[in-house]
Amino acid sequence: MRFKLFLIIFIIAFSSIANAQCKSGKIMVKASKAEMKPYNMDAYVDNELIYGKQPKTIETPFTAYSGESYKLIFASDNVPQGISIGIYDKNKRAKTRKELYKYDFKVGDTRAPVFEIKKPGNYYIQFDVPPSDDEKVLKKGCMYTMIGFKENE
């Protein structure tokens, strides 16, 4: 009986921690402002990552406009397992597509190398989330994508 009570308390405590994953976006943005220069911070997106029984692919489109350059910074404050980030010139349903950027986030990594976009067009950011390495525990993490822009001279 005590074991069950302990297990229930542990699950509730872990769920509270996991649900708080994506609440530090503003802190991550503030910490990245210096790295973003000379670009202007435009926006950020947080992606909650859930490590389940099956691997998942999350794809987010991104449009770069003519006359502007962009800087993308990927950051996380608590990834419980690795995750791969890729940027492509076409979506995942295209028969052929070119990989423009790749980084394998590991536990403890807080930042990925910066990616700069100089050419206008549509780009696709892809997060490859592996299955949980412990099927008994639901694992969650959060990845922040910060976007900066500047006008081309």
Q: Where are the domains of the chain?
A: 2-151
Strand order in the sheet with 83-88: 56-64, 121-129, 83-88, 99-105
Q: How many CB atoms lie within 10 A of CB 145?
A: 20
The predicted-structure confidence for 29-49, as pLDDT tens digits, reads as follows 888 888 999 999 888 888 888
CATH 1.10.730 fits 2-151, yes or no: no
Q: Could you tell me the two tokens for 32?
A: 């990245």
Distance CA 134, CA 29 (A): 31
pLDDT reported for residue 138: 81
pTM, entire model: 0.80
How confident is the model at residue 12, as a pLDDT? 35
What's the confidence (pLDDT) of residue 65?
95
Average model confidence (pLDDT) across the chain: 84
In terms of Cα–Cα distance, which of 64, 96, 65, 76 is closest to 28? 76
Counting beta carbons within 10 angstroms of the beta carbon of residue 89, is it exposed (0 to 12), middle (13 to 18) or buried (19 or more)?
Answer: middle
Looking at the chain, the whole-number percentage of residues with pLDDT higher than 70 is 86
Using 70 as the pLDDT threshold, list the residues of the chain that sit under it. Answer: 1-21
Under 8 Å between Cβ of 126 and 85: yes
